[in-house]
Each structure stands twice: as structure tokens, then as C-alpha cells.
Amino acid sequence: MQRFINNPDLIVDDLIKGYVKAHKGFIEKSAKNDRVVKRKNSSETRKVGIVTGGGSGHEPAFLGYVGENMVDAVAVGEVFASPPAEAFYDAIIEADSGEGVACLFGNYAGDNMNVKMAIQMAEEEGVNVKFVTAKDDIASSLKETSHRRHGIAGGVYMWKVGGAKAALGGTLDEVIAVAQKAADNTRSICVGLSSCTIPAAGTPNFEIEEGMMEFGIGHHGESGVRVEKLKSAAEIASMMTDALLENFAFEKGQNLALLLSGLGSTPKMELHVLFDTIEEVLKKQNHCAEMVLIGDYATSLDMNGVSLSLMRLDSELRELLAYPTKTPGLTIVRS
């Protein structure tokens, strides 16, 4: 394994130190916990606090979305591992300014367990905490059991609109309601072309043979819907878009937000090649991709692959997505 690594067992600590130094103007490490990163002066503005967290290796998710009008504090886990309950608890305490805290995270067993423990601890300290889980990965469970689905790149929408609503003075219940609306109206799908390598292991954690692709692969290498021969970019783009539209089952044309994220080693050139077909497929079915993000927004270490997320828009979600934010992973300026 040839990587830019010091000690593979300490790579998350090195990641946090580098991230905080690089963006020291608006983020900092918590004095309470080395695995919590917070927005500078996060508790000085009286508003609903926004907290998220998860395993490392998905950068810029999760710590890359800490900043202005988005996430206030994040719990950082080991590579592909949930942060402990104590880290979520400390992130909640850092984000609390007296108006309550919204904890918005992906639907994974470890995160669910640790967040609920952290919420109980925080409530014993008098902090009002509510949560929403992203369940946008349509390949991770059947439509009939969609409550079991995992949260992947579509979680970016939940953090964005939740953070914007809080910045605009929304109550905790209002922030939770709009974050839930974003989660309910978002679907995602991934395609993988190669494996990823966990630094401490030093070898790929699964295998995709040369000339093959895995449709519906998970962000940690969870098995996809099927493995098949590698197709052209146009065919892959059509398959991904059709899968999401079929899952939505729209009765008429929709205005959609679209997020196309590389999974770690996918050239941005290829992302735009994919988008060209995705836009055509949407247009042919009378849908409009009016708010488009293309780049690396939620990755999987060094996996060669792509995730496509679509969110059905209404006037509220559109307004909150467009609200200015400045974070390492996403910057939106006032138009």
C-alpha cells in the first residue's frame, strides 16, 4: 500500500489536526474532546445547534461541513466506525446555546446506538435534543423496509437545510421538521469500480474484478444489488437515474436538487461525463435538475466510484439550499 501516512493507527488524529489547521479561520478542535470539531464561537450565537458525526474516510463528510450556517459540531469516529457516545455527547454540549440541538446523522446501527446514549446523557444535563436519520441509500434495503436504509451522500442536503433553518432563527421543532422533509425527499445510489483500502489494514477490504462494476455498492463496501460487466458512462448514468426515479415513482415532472459525488479516486472529468447523460434522462422525463453539485462531497477513502443523490424540491427546501454557507466541504454565496 502506497499512501501518504505516518502511523496508520493514528491517521484520524493526524487528519483532524491537519483539517483544523487548514481551516482555522472558522473551525477548531473542542477542548473537551480531541474527536470533536466545532464551529468557532459555536455557542455564542443563540440558535438551535446542529450536530452530526460518523466514521472517518468519507471526507469532506463529516467534519468538512462544520462552519457558517451549517453544522456546529461533529463527532469524528475511526475509519468507517461510529464515534463513541461520549464524542456525540461532547459535540451536543459544544453546539448547545440554550435553544436545543438537532442531531442529524446517517442510519447505521453503531451511530443509532451511540447517538441515543448521548442524547440521554445530554438530556440529564438539561439539554433538549432531537434527531433525524438520513436513509437515502435505496440499495441498502427494499422499498418495503426503507426504514432500514443507510444514509450516504444525500445527508449533505439534511445538514444544509437544517443548518440554514437554524441560522434563520427556526425553533428546534422547525429545524427537525425541515431536516426530516429533506431526508424523506432524498434518494441515492452508488456504483463502484474498485475497492477501497482501510489504512490500518493495508489491503483492499473487498474486490471488484477488472472489467466489472458493482451497482448499489455501499459507502463502506457493503454488497451492492448486483455485480456485472462494466458499461459505458452513458449506460451507468442512465441505470443510476432510472433506479432513483423508479424508487420515487413521481406522477409528474419535478424540480430536483442533484448531487453527484465521487467516492475518492474518481476524476471530476468523469463525473461531468456522467452528468451529461443524467441531465438528459431527467429532461426526457420532464424533470429539471435546477440545483446541481458535482465533486467530492461524501467519499469512501480511495474507492473508484460515484454516488448520485436526488432531492425533490419545494419552495422551502429551495430557499434553504440557496442560503449562504461557508464550510470546508461546501460554500454557497449570496446570489
CA dist 331 and 250 (Å) reads 30
Cβ neighbours of 7 (radius 10 Å): 10
Q: CB–CB of 87/77 below 8 Å?
A: yes
Q: Tell me, yes or no, if 219 is annotated catalytic.
A: no
Q: What's the one-letter identity of residue 203?
A: T
Q: Tell me, yes or no, if 272 is annotated catalytic.
A: no
Catalytic residue among 23, 219, 220, 287: 220
> Considering only CA atoms, which of 255, 275, 278, 268 is closest in space to residue 299?
268
Q: In the beta sheet, which residues pair with residue 136?
A: none
Phi, psi angle pair for 214, to nearest 5°: -115, 115
Burial profile 279-312: b = 16 or more Cβ within 10 angstroms, e = fewer: bebbeeeebebebebbebbbbbbbbbbbbbbbbb
Cβ neighbours of 257 (radius 10 Å): 25
- The CA distances from residue 167 to 24, 45, 160, in Å, are 21, 9, 11
Catalytic residue among 23, 58, 219, 287: 58
- Give the residue numbers marked as catalytic: 58, 220
